[in-house]
């Protein structure tokens, strides 16, 4: 029996990847954009690569508004991730 590997699309670069490889974001209390590490919180979720280039779209309020459709505060976990992005990545490679 084959196990189904769920795929999602990164909101920034539009690349499809396995769901577990992506960072899930969700909106808390209708005003805070936060990381959902367990990928289980209720409500609409968005996925991003953990690449610095993809995370960059969250840093500027204008880009955040364009991507998520409203002014949102950045939650503490997401703020920490934006301050200390993971090293490495494969963007730009085929």
Contact 67, 94 (CB under 8 A): no
Residue with tokens 């909101």: 11
In the numeric block, which tokens belong to residue 89?
A: 């990545």
pLDDT in tens, 18-49: 999 999 999 888 888 899 989 888 888 889 99
Torsion over CA: 74, 79, 81, 85 (sign): positive
Q: What is the mean pLDDT of residues 52-62?
A: 78
pTM for the full predicted model: 0.76
In the numeric block, which tokens belong to residue 77?
A: 């976990």
- All structural domains of the chain: 7-83 (3.30.1230.10)
């Amino acid at each position: 029996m084959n196990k189904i590997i769920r795929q999602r699309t990164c909101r920034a670069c539009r690349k499809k990847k396995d769901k577990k490889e992506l960072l899930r974001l969700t909106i808390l209390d209708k005003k805070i954009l936060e990381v959902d590490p367990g990928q289980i919180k209720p409500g609409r979720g968005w996925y991003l690569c953990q690449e610095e280039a993809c995370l960059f779209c969250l840093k500027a309020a204008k880009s955040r508004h364009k991507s998520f459709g409203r002014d949102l505060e950045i939650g503490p976990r997401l703020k920490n991730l934006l301050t200390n992005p993971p090293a490495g990545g494969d963007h730009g490679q085929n």
